[in-house]
């Protein structure tokens, strides 16, 4: 018979329609109290609701023997419960250096990639993480401190696409009491007690001080605030969609999407919008013109809105070379053509995963296929923006970048090299375009010039064991949003 805590979780799952019959829920289990509680809860509910549970555990390689012991515990626990478990072992410190990320950020992205891999390869349809009410309160506080609008107040959503958080209805205390009552063992991560990370300082110092010295219900009130903010934000988003349909038109290459073409905002219709919708619409349009959300701030929105009251021809410069111009019908946003040699841009590739390349506004999707999938990859139709490479012979971490001195390609099976500059000259690539070409590079060796050619050295052959499939798209499908994924726990 279910106790109050279990009933609370079941009702929360049903309220937000988190899972359905025949779903396979990939569950992040680190071995800590929260994720172990989540696993037991889901296993119990799966029998009544008709879904399946599978476990994903990521060993980050950061805590030596302790991390190996956590992995062993999760493996034994899953065997006892009869739940399929997949272990991912990653060197997070090395990956963080290669990707030029913090260890915390790299760990978060690695966990996300592991979950997505299990959805693709193990039939997962939902991804469950062990976020609870206190995690959400910490997120809201952190966003407020960093500076946020309504969107940041929304905190961690119970459901976002296939990502679900069944325990957002529980406090940390409720989880710990339930695990203790059931006599369930769990692991303790010593790094959770350290105040190195900002979130831990909020967890250990700020939120407890507020509950002890201001109001004992602080965490609950912050959760109530996030719920109200979600309702308000969803309404604003819906009205912004409507306003976009009525006020915005596109022209030029790509119809204005992902930083291409022009975005035109009709002045007369725009002026009739409520201020909150007007600001939301302008922010969205600037992000579309830029192909980026990061660094688009309130000052840029207000400068653009001010143009509607100025004379034709007036303009303002915005981030990512976007220019807003007062036109006869309203305001036009467009990305300006960069003159001269652009600043060199280099971004490490997330393998597997998605990488956004700001130099061209393109998204790079990397997928690693094993030997069993090799026949499929060798027969894969090699389109101009999708290629397969022998992953095992890559020497360094791959990057997306613009050209630089010393770049070369291997042009035949004998290993003959050709300077990239000579290749561009032979192919009659205009000088002004050469510095803006997206290149996939392995050190100075150019692996691929998307849309043109790849180096012969990386071709898939009979001895290939692992294949790297790279796909280039114009639209940015991946936008980092720390509040939509695991914020540092429950892997």
- Are residues 58 and 190 both part of a single domain? yes
Is residue 187 situated within a structural domain? yes
Calpha distance 39→458 (Å, rounded): 43
Residue 45 tokens, joined: 């509910």
- Are residues 316 and 355 both part of a single domain? no
Confidence check: pLDDT of 282 > 80: yes
Alpha carbon separation from 39 to 60, 117, 242, 404 (Å, rounded): 20, 19, 41, 50
Q: Is 122 in contact with 26 (CB distance < 8 Å)?
A: yes
Q: What is the pLDDT of residues 313-333, one digit of tens each?
A: 899 999 888 999 999 899 999
Q: Of 158, 193, 216, which residue is a domain's last?
A: 216
Confidence check: pLDDT of 360 > 80: no
Give residue 455's Cα distance to chain centre.
Answer: 30
CATH number at residue 157: 3.40.50.620
- Are residues 60 and 86 both part of a single domain? yes
Is residue 242 situated within a structural domain? no
Is residue 363 situated within a structural domain? yes
- Are residues 138 and 207 both part of a single domain? yes
- Are residues 118 and 202 both part of a single domain? yes
- Are residues 182 and 307 both part of a single domain? no
- Are residues 375 and 309 both part of a single domain? no
**What pLDDT was estimated at residue 491?**
35
- Are residues 324 and 352 both part of a single domain? no
pLDDT band at 346 (very low <50, low <70, confident <90, very high): confident
Q: What is the pLDDT of residues 97-120, one digit of tens each?
A: 777 777 878 888 889 989 999 998
Alpha carbon separation from 60 to 85, 86, 94, 261 (Å, rounded): 16, 14, 10, 43
Calpha distance 414→142 (Å, rounded): 57
- Are residues 205 and 328 both part of a single domain? no
CATH number at residue 436: 3.50.40.10
Average pLDDT estimate for 457-481: 70
Is residue 140 situated within a structural domain? yes
Calpha distance 283→278 (Å, rounded): 9
Strand 439-442 and strand 445-449: pairing? antiparallel
Q: Which domain holds residue 304?
A: 252-335
**What pLDDT was estimated at residue 190?**
61
Is residue 125 situated within a structural domain? yes
Is residue 208 situated within a structural domain? yes
**What pLDDT was estimated at residue 196?**
54
Average pLDDT estimate for 75-80: 95
CATH number at residue 328: 3.30.465.60
Q: Of 304, 335, 366, which residue is a domain's last?
A: 335
Calpha distance 74→57 (Å, rounded): 8
Is residue 155 situated within a structural domain? yes
Q: How many domains in the chain?
A: 3
pLDDT band at 195 (very low <50, low <70, confident <90, very high): low
Average pLDDT estimate for 427-450: 85
**What pLDDT was estimated at residue 257?**
43
- Are residues 188 and 291 both part of a single domain? no
Is residue 231 situated within a structural domain? no
């Amino acid at each position: 018979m279910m106790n109050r805590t279990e009933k609370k979780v079941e009702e929360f799952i049903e309220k937000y329609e988190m899972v359905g019959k025949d779903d396979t829920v990939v569950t992040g289990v680190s071995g800590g109290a929260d994720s172990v509680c989540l696993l037991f809860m889901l296993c119990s509910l799966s029998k009544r609701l008709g879904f399946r549970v599978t476990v994903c555990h990521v060993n980050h390689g950061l805590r030596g023997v302790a991390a190996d012991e956590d992995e062993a515990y999760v493996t034994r626990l899953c065997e006892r419960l009869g739940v399929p478990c997949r272990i991912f072992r990653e060197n997070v410190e090395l990956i963080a250096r290669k990707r030029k990320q913090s260890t915390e950020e790299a760990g978060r992205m690695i966990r996300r990639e592991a979950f997505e891999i299990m959805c693709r390869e193990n039939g997962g349809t939902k991804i469950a993480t062990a976020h609870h009410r206190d995690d959400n309160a910490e997120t809201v506080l952190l966003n407020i401190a960093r500076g946020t609008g309504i969107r940041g107040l929304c905190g961690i959503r119970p459901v976002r696409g296939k990502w679900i958080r069944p325990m957002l209805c529980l406090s940390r205390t409720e989880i710990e009491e339930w695990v203790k009552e059931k006599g369930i063992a769990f692991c303790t991560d010593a790094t959770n007690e350290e105040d190195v990370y900002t979130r831990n300082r909020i967890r250990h110092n700020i939120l407890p001080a507020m509950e002890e010295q201001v109001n004992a219900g602080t965490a609950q009130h912050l959760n109530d605030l996030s719920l109200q903010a979600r309702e308000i934000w969803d309404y604003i988003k819906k009205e912004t969609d409507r306003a976009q349909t009525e006020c915005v038109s596109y022209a030029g290459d790509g119809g204005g999407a992902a930083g291409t073409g022009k975005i035109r905002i009709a002045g007369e219709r725009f002026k009739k919008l409520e201020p909150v919708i007007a600001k939301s619409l302008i922010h969205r349009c600037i992000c579309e013109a830029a192909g980026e959300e990061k660094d688009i701030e309130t000052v840029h929105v207000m400068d653009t809105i001010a143009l509607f009251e100025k004379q034709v021809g007036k303009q303002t410069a915005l981030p990512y070379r976007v220019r807003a111009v007062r036109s006869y019908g309203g305001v036009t946003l467009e990305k300006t053509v960069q003159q001269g040699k652009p600043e060199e841009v280099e971004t490490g590739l997330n393998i597997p995963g998605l990488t956004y390349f700001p130099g061209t506004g393109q998204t790079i999707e990397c997928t690693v296929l094993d030997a069993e999938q090799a026949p499929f990859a060798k027969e894969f139709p090699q389109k101009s923006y999708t290629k397969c490479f022998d992953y095992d012979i890559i020497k360094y971490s791959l990057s997306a970048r613009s050209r630089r001195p010393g770049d070369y390609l291997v042009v035949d099976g004998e290993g003959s090299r050709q300077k990239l500059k000579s290749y561009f000259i032979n192919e009659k690539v205009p000088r002004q375009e050469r510095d803006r070409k997206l290149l996939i590079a392995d050190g100075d060796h150019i692996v691929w010039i998307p849309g043109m050619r790849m180096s012969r050295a990386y071709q898939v052959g009979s001895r290939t064991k692992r294949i790297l499939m790279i796909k280039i798209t114009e639209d940015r499908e991946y936008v980092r949003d720390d509040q939509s994924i695991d914020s540092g726990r429950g892997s």
